[in-house]
Amino acid sequence: MLGAMLHEAWQAMGANRLRTLLTMLGMVIGVGAVVLMMAIGQGAQYAVAQTINSMGSNIFVVLSGYTSTGGVRSGGGSAPTLNVADAEAIAELDGVDTVAPVHWGSVQMVHGTNNWNAWVHGTTPAYLDARSWPLAEGAAFTDSDVRAATRVALIGKTTAENLFGEEPPVGKTFRIGQAPFVVLGVMAPKGQNLDGRDQDDLVVMPLTTAQRKVFGTAFKGSVRQILVKASSSEAMPALEKTIEALLRQRHRLREGVDNDFTLRNLTAVADTAAETTRVMSMLLGAIASVSLIVGGIGIMNIMLVSVTERTREIGIRMAIGARQRDILLQFLLEAIIISVIGCLIGLLLGIAGAIAVGSIAKSTVVISGSAALAAFGVAAGVGVFFGYYPAHKAARLDPIEALRYQ
């Protein structure tokens, strides 16, 4: 029976090819738009997730002298407000996993005929751990390098390419001013951070080397920032308060005086970014869904016309023994076939569009099976939902009235 009905539905659709195709087009556009928008939205979410992972998880950044109070501070002679001792004190706190003081600045580097300007992060070996940053090749420097202030460095991928070109950089030397530095290793590429800056254009070296031999500072042991990795994300809110209290106490800030440092919770920033993209992709999906609903209404419209046109046929079918559900099923099947075929075409076009967007705009698109499946399910649902009323109307016709219809 179902086979016969499918055949009949197919024939009925074939009898009005242009109309069927135009009705289908509504669904094609709707599903195509949903699939495309989902791919773009999920791509954006994926890109943000990648960036967040590259930052390392559960990270606080304490920045020194970031507030405007820096310039007017007096006494003690400590204008750069953070130092290694602060970092060591933070490391003693509960809930702290790793602490890495960082002193940074930008320097000009030379290797052979190449020269390149990059950021130098002077820090401790804990830095790589805090930022979950593996090495692509070579080995990291050690605590003894920090103690001895040896001229060694780890370089990022971008820096390596610009300074060394095709040469393998591990074991080679480059110069900063007149001082030679040995490359111990190359760090694995991380890509852009949330600001869109290239994280791989970087040189990491022992903190003491940076302080004494690269930048030179009047204030022994001062650092520009301290990276703090919490042991868990649950520990972060409490830890944020303890770090602030500790530093205020250590810096002898009286009540009412602004902090002479800035404490940033990178995870919170990342969460905001993730939430933003999530909302954006939902918004895209919602807008696309509107076109799916419009497509569904198109199906309903055409099915209503079809029922009216075929009133007499419905009467004949009823007279020769079609029950209400036979008529209902017949029209419902037509609506479902139109929406499912429209959905399949839309799916293909949406995927093709997503691939095109991915290659033209060079942005990440993610075509997930679950999204495609959801679009398919929704389309079938739209077919049933918008096909039901016309089919129900057809099934409820009075056979006598339907037979008299001209």
Chain residues in the site for other proteins (CB under 8 A): 1, 3-5, 8, 11-12, 15, 312-313, 316-326, 399-400, 403
Nearer to other proteins, 197 or 312 (CB): 312
Nearer to other proteins, 303 or 318 (CB): 318
Residue 275 CA to residue 282 CA, distance in Å, equals 10
Least Å distance, CB 323 to other proteins, is 4
Residue with tokens 């037979």: 403
Cα→Cα distances 25→32, 291, 342, 375, 391, Å: 10, 11, 7, 15, 21
Least Å distance, CB 355 to other proteins, is 40
Residue 213, token pair as written in the block: 């031999």
Least Å distance, CB 18 to other proteins, is 16
Residue 13 CA to residue 361 CA, distance in Å, equals 39
Nearer to other proteins, 5 or 380 (CB): 5
Nearer to other proteins, 284 or 302 (CB): 302
Residue 315, token pair as written in the block: 């009467």
Least Å distance, CB 19 to other proteins, is 14
Helix (H) or strand (E) holding 329, with range, is: helix 324-360
Sequence-distant (6+) residues with CB within 8 A of 115 are: 108, 109, 163
Nearer to other proteins, 239 or 395 (CB): 395
Residue 293, token pair as written in the block: 């609903």
Q: Which of 121, 124, 56 is nearest to 84 (CA)?
A: 124
Least Å distance, CB 368 to other proteins, is 40
Q: Which of 343, 334, 402 is nearest to 375 (CA)?
A: 343
Least Å distance, CB 12 to other proteins, is 7
Least Å distance, CB 8 to other proteins, is 8
Residue 152 CA to residue 149 CA, distance in Å, equals 9
Nearer to other proteins, 137 or 326 (CB): 326
Residue 382 CA to residue 9 CA, distance in Å, equals 18
Nearer to other proteins, 100 or 329 (CB): 329
Residue 81 CA to residue 70 CA, distance in Å, equals 8
